[in-house]
Chains A and B, each alone.
Chain A
Amino acid sequence: MNFIDTHLLSLILFVPALAAVIILFLPNGENRVFRWFAFGASFIPFVLSLLVWFRFDANQSGFQFEEIYVWYEAIGSSLHLGVDGLSLTMVLLTTILTPLSILASFSITDRVKAYMILFLLLETGMLGVFMALDLLIFFVFWEVGLVPMYFLINQWGSANRNYASLKFLIYTMGGSLGLLLGIQLLGVLFNTYDLQIITAQWSTYTEDIAGIPASTFKTVAFWAFVIAFAIKVPVWPFHTWLPDAHTEAPTAGSMILAGVLLKLGAYGFLRLILPLYPEQARVFAGALAVLATAAIVFGAFASYAQTDFKRLVAYSSVNHMGFVVLGIAAAGLASGTPDAHIALNGAILQMFNHGLSAAGMFFLVGVIYERTHTRNLNEFGGLFPLVPVYGGILIFTSMASLGLPGLNGFVSEFLVVRGAWPILPVYTAIAMLGLLFTGAYILKGIKMVLHGPLNEHWAPAGGEHKLTEINTREILVMVPLMALILWIGIWPAWILDVINKAVVRLF
């Protein structure tokens, strides 16, 4: 027991990777074994992170459950893990979504073993980013997450998967280059990669570096960081990899992509950019706000224009994540004010909320795709009477995505708007156009899939429905998501309290 208590974070982090290795040595053949083993293994981090969540003391400042191990002593990098209110929220999101995604993948029949191994490695990669308190470790995990996702899209994706996976990989790697250079610069400068030390010194660093004024250096490094994270979020105009990757990825891949991977980018903004470059974040807040507003508005419009159901949902991520960046931009401009704190509360909660609703939406698209083998909205129509339970769940999840009050999305979007309004009134006002069209594309999706006259192609023939209702396993994937969506919508205090205390202390 004692071992578990003192190694909680590293257990959460490495249990999935360990499980992946074990699966590698399991005898081939029995798909059921791989599925259940992977599902069970991904449940351990979930239980452990619940343990961390309940033991976490929100009133205590700094990082908790810290662990530090020697890793690369020569250059001053160590395996330093720890969580605060910000990262713990994201860890919880990851450990909730991964088992659900694995459960959602039970319908995969092709090379299940390899699939599950990649999926578990992916979880370790993502968790590592959220827990890392060492810049080099941060970067390592940042890249580690990329590889399994590339193969998941490339091997288990749909028709256009080669293009999509390549675009995803090259785009993200392109962004990583600047990030790596920036991290190296900091490492060389301070002879350590420890995040806490660097943050304390770099944010107030004013000496020239190699004859170049620190401010110039910082500006360049700031943008290197921003572009890396902006691609991942994704912020307009770096977003076009997203609709391709999300659309082509297998269902569970899209769930994790939208649910967690996008949050890595936003997390980078919060963990690294705002603390490391407060000055630059203030100076360039306007530019960020422009991009965020563009993401919100253009994302909504582009989503509205889609005829592919999955692409429609994919573009909705651009729209929703725009609110996260808008909150971050506002906080960068007015750091330290109550307004900024409210905006960041909204941004972080929006990250969590979008994780739930986007994962749910992608899963539901997958459910209908598995049955109809089409994602073309024009080929659906009037399916509601055939699949009433599915329809009800789809409307519920769509409404969460739409930001209906009473469900989770509203709380976070309202907080972002509330926080950003006094700081960036014009951008917030323009963003409302995006909010309006959020309604347009969500209703378009429901209208084209469920409502209207029944498309005869799916009509019940010979007393048997061609289209089968959502099954128990699939409902089980949705129930936790829907419960959380409703719970946060009605009583967000349990999670917002942790977020708020972290935000007030950090920013």
Chain B
Amino acid sequence: MATELLIWLIPLPPVLAFFLIVLLTNRNKALSHTVGVGAAFLSWLGSMVVFVRALGVEHLGEHPFVSSVTWLPLGETTDTYFDIGILVDPTGAAVLFFVAWTIFMIFLYSVGYQNFGQPKGDHDQAGLPPHGATVEEHGHRHRVPSVEPMYSRFFAFLGLFAFGMYVLVLSDNLLTLFVGWEIMGLCSYLLIGFWYAKPSAREAGVKAFMTTRVGDVFMLLGVAYLYSATGTLSFREIFTEGVLHTLATVPSGVLGLSAAGLIGLLLFIGAVGKSAQFPLHVWLPDAMEGPTPVSAMIHAATMVSAGVYLVIRMFPLISLDPTTMAIVAFIGAFTALFSATIAVAQNDIKRVLAYSTISQLGFMIAALGIGAYVAAAFHLITHAFFKALLFLGSGSVIHGMEHGVLHTGDHKVDPQDMFNMGGLRKKMPITFWTFLIGGFALSGFPVLTAGFWSKDEILADAFGHGHWAVFITLAVAAFLTAFYTMRQITLTFLGEPRTKEAEHAQETPWTMTVPLVVLAFFAVTAGWVGIPEHFPALGGLIPNWFHEFVGGTLAEHPEAVEFSIWPLLTSLFVALGGLGLGWLVYRNVKTPAEDRLQIPVLKNKYYFDEIYDYLFVKPAYWFAETVIYKFMDQGVIDGFLHSFGPVTDRFGSAIRNYFDLPVINRFFGDGSANVTYWFGGKLRVVQTGRIQQYLMFALVVFIAVGAALYFFLLA
């Protein structure tokens, strides 16, 4: 099959699965997940074929896979169209690779996570997480996990989500990229609020949708601006020297930015929303309300990556304006450090990962802000693998803990609180070892893990190009990352079980552990493709393939940064130091009270939710209800309209009372009648009936008229 056609087909299976499940197989759980996982597999297969073929093309950056069709007839003549199409260039191929793998693994994992094969729950209802079922075996009853009531629907939503991500990655233009972007936004809303009957999940879904929408409307403006400035939204047409030069030199009239600068900034705000960067980061931690595979999908593999992917895609444009780049670098670096400090004080196993995700995305954004294109793409990919692994691992832990909760029957124990865990390494060995690999990759454990290579490259770039502020900020953030990761591993897996539930935790089924193992494999090996050429001992053993390949996307191949020992030493120090310190501090901590980092301001995420609520959410509702609706519409406008009623009424009454009645009725109407009546009365006396009198009158009148005529006409 022609590669281009194949690329067109890649996004289709998941969306077909969505429609199939919603319309037909909704009632049959096995059929639904077969359709869903099968579709994810087909897309994965297609992606792998495309990826392999892309590797075989020389200078893929200059000759990418492209194909387009006409879409919107918008031209001034009959045959000009707005075209849409597909594009796979080196960056696209690399992103496609990790997207396909993580999505497929998440689909598979979901089968186990949503308790397929387990009995129906005793009191389960749609919209709430399953509470467990009672079964009788060998004469005694015990509680087991129950299957998710909306099992089929879950796979339908995941399918639509996957479709959105594939569309985003494979688009050759900003408009269809935006389409995929928003479809994912919808799915994140639906999936975060999957257990919609829980008020917290419902609010979290709305919050995610609205917060990202703040970014989206700016992005939409950026898209419109770019389209009107260049007449196209196709990446390949925009990233030509002439177009970029024009954009860089035309002033936008806002803040002294060039057109490229303003467009870049608007698009970047979209990425800030989607990738949960400060100040639009607030939605992501709440999004943990969704089922854990969703968290992995949203927070590792797809949606948050989309923001960074957008900045990577638009890098040739965004990098034109130094002001925009400075803003990008600042936001990224600040977010990286800021959310790392919050992660230190979280006790919910998923929330730690959530803040860690925000922080790591900050690393990538900061890297892009300082021009480290390849390093950002590299970290995007390695992060997707190890963060998906960590999320799925945490889901596995939660699942194991829930098993314990069902066993003891004490539903007050929060299966997500790390202080309720401890010692799980023995109960859940596969989960433990894979989680350890993921955690070490996140911390940047030297040489072995993928996270080390990508994070090191970002630090090396910041160092090599003299971005000291970024370098130091990221180094501190990296230290904190290693620290809280080790805190998490120590509290969860090491030591002895701190609760009965942890004692009865159980390893999860193969549908959940196989994805963990696969992702762990990539969390280690994905880094080896990008070892710098001059790295001590290892450099040059494996060529720095990633840099060559992905760097080829840009028209001007970026120079690999010169090797320096200082950033390497820094990397080593922060990773090992953070991990070591984390273990030292937390190996003996048993309760939250003993944890000295439970600082309120950190625990409460610097009170951003409260501040936003106070500054934006409440005033917006007040403005809408009191000012716009009650005051303006009902008060001023309707008040004005209603005043017409009484005014018209009074005007009408006035006309009746002061004109109609006295003037028309009394004077003309009644008046003329009265006059006639009176006159008739007076005249009655002459109606005598005697002929002589009538003749007498006639004579008098005749003489009078004759005299008058004579007087006026003849005289």
| Residues of chain A whose beta carbon lies under 8 Å from any beta carbon of chain B | 59, 167, 171, 237, 239-240, 243, 298, 301-302, 304-306, 338-339, 341-342, 345, 382, 384-385, 388, 392, 395, 399, 404-406, 410-411, 414-415, 417-418, 421-422, 428-429, 432-433, 435-437, 439-440, 443-444, 447, 450-454, 491-493, 496-497, 500-501, 504
Known: A385-B126, A392-B22, A432-B218. A453 touches B628 (CB 8 A): no
Contact A443 B206 (CB under 8 A): yes
Contact B210 A385 (CB under 8 A): no
Point out the residues of chain B lying under 8 angstroms from A452, CB to CB.
Answer: 196-197, 199, 202
Contact B217 A435 (CB under 8 A): yes
Point out the residues of chain A lying under 8 angstroms from B70, CB to CB.
Answer: 493
Contact B228 A418 (CB under 8 A): yes
How many pairs of residues, A versus B, come closer than 8 Å at their CB atoms?
Answer: 148
A-B contact pairs, 16 of them (CB 8 A): A167-B641, A237-B637, A301-B620, A304-B620, A306-B629, A342-B74, A382-B196, A384-B196, A405-B181, A406-B183, A417-B221, A421-B228, A443-B189, A444-B206, A447-B202, A500-B73
Contact A384 B78 (CB under 8 A): no
A492 vs B223: C-alpha distance when bound (angstroms): 19
Point out the residues of chain B lying under 8 angstroms from A171, CB to CB.
Answer: 641
The smallest beta-carbon distance between A386 and chain B, in angstroms, is: 9
Q: Does B178 contact A (CB under 8 A)?
A: yes
Q: Does B678 contact A (CB under 8 A)?
A: no
The smallest beta-carbon distance between B17 and chain A, in angstroms, is: 16
The smallest beta-carbon distance between B177 and chain A, in angstroms, is: 10
Q: Does B649 contact A (CB under 8 A)?
A: no
Nearest-neighbor residue (CB-CB) of B632 within chain A: A298
A500 vs B202: C-alpha distance when bound (angstroms): 42
A301 vs B622: C-alpha distance when bound (angstroms): 10
Known: A301-B624, A439-B213, A443-B206. A341 touches B76 (CB 8 A): yes
Contact A421 B221 (CB under 8 A): yes
Contact B210 A440 (CB under 8 A): yes
The residues in B between 411 and 448 inclusive whose CB is less than 8 angstroms from any CB of A are none
Contact B72 A411 (CB under 8 A): yes
A167 vs B641: C-alpha distance when bound (angstroms): 9
Q: Does B518 contact A (CB under 8 A)?
A: no
A452 vs B632: C-alpha distance when bound (angstroms): 32
Q: Does B224 contact A (CB under 8 A)?
A: yes
Point out the residues of chain B lying under 8 angstroms from A342, CB to CB.
Answer: 74
Point out the residues of chain B lying under 8 angstroms from A422, CB to CB.
Answer: 228-229
The smallest beta-carbon distance between A358 and chain B, in angstroms, is: 19
A67 vs B126: C-alpha distance when bound (angstroms): 59
Contact A414 B224 (CB under 8 A): yes
Contact A428 B73 (CB under 8 A): no
Point out the residues of chain B lying under 8 angstroms from A388, CB to CB.
Answer: 126
Nearest-neighbor residue (CB-CB) of A441 within chain B: B624
Known: A399-B186, A421-B228, A440-B210. A451 touches B193 (CB 8 A): yes
The smallest beta-carbon distance between B403 and chain A, in angstroms, is: 26
Contact B228 A443 (CB under 8 A): no
**Residue among B72, B179, B214 with the most chain A CB within 10 A?**
B72
Q: Give the residue of A341, A421, A496 whose beta carbon is less than 8 angstroms from that of B224.
A: A421
Contact A405 B178 (CB under 8 A): yes
Q: Does B71 contact A (CB under 8 A)?
A: yes
Point out the residues of chain A lying under 8 angstroms from B632, CB to CB.
Answer: 298
The residues in B between 14 and 63 inclusive whose CB is less than 8 angstroms from any CB of A are 22
Contact A439 B178 (CB under 8 A): no
Q: Does B668 contact A (CB under 8 A)?
A: no
**Residue among B74, B213, B625 with the most chain A CB within 10 A?**
B74
Q: Does B127 contact A (CB under 8 A)?
A: yes
A447 vs B183: C-alpha distance when bound (angstroms): 19
Nearest-neighbor residue (CB-CB) of A486 within chain B: B19
A496 vs B127: C-alpha distance when bound (angstroms): 40
Point out the residues of chain B lying under 8 angstroms from A491, CB to CB.
Answer: 71
A453 vs B202: C-alpha distance when bound (angstroms): 10
Q: Besides the contacts A240-B634, A405-B178, what 13 more A-B pairs have beta carbons closer than 8 Å?
A: A240-B637, A298-B633, A305-B624, A305-B629, A338-B76, A405-B179, A405-B182, A414-B220, A428-B224, A443-B210, A453-B199, A496-B72, A500-B75
A405 vs B625: C-alpha distance when bound (angstroms): 29
Q: Does B365 contact A (CB under 8 A)?
A: no
A418 vs B227: C-alpha distance when bound (angstroms): 7
Q: Give the residue of A304, A338, A428, A450 whose beta carbon is less than 8 angstroms from that of B624.
A: A304
A417 vs B221: C-alpha distance when bound (angstroms): 8
Contact B22 A304 (CB under 8 A): no
Q: Give the residue of B78, B178, B224, B630 whose beta carbon is less than 8 angstroms from that of A501.
A: B78
A484 vs B634: C-alpha distance when bound (angstroms): 36
Contact A439 B209 (CB under 8 A): yes
Nearest-neighbor residue (CB-CB) of A244 within chain B: B638
Contact B76 A414 (CB under 8 A): no
Q: Does B125 contact A (CB under 8 A)?
A: yes
Point out the residues of chain B lying under 8 angstroms from A493, CB to CB.
Answer: 70-73, 81
A59 vs B126: C-alpha distance when bound (angstroms): 54
The smallest beta-carbon distance between B258 and chain A, in angstroms, is: 16
- A-facing mask of B163-191, CB < 8 A → 1, else 0? 00000000000010011011100100110
Point out the residues of chain A lying under 8 angstroms from B315, CB to CB.
Answer: none
The smallest beta-carbon distance between A498 and chain B, in angstroms, is: 9
Contact A406 B197 (CB under 8 A): no
Q: Does B621 contact A (CB under 8 A)?
A: yes
Q: Give the residue of A239, A240, A395, A497 whose beta carbon is less than 8 angstroms from that of B73.
A: A497
- A-facing mask of B229-252, CB < 8 A → 1, else 0? 100000000000000000000000
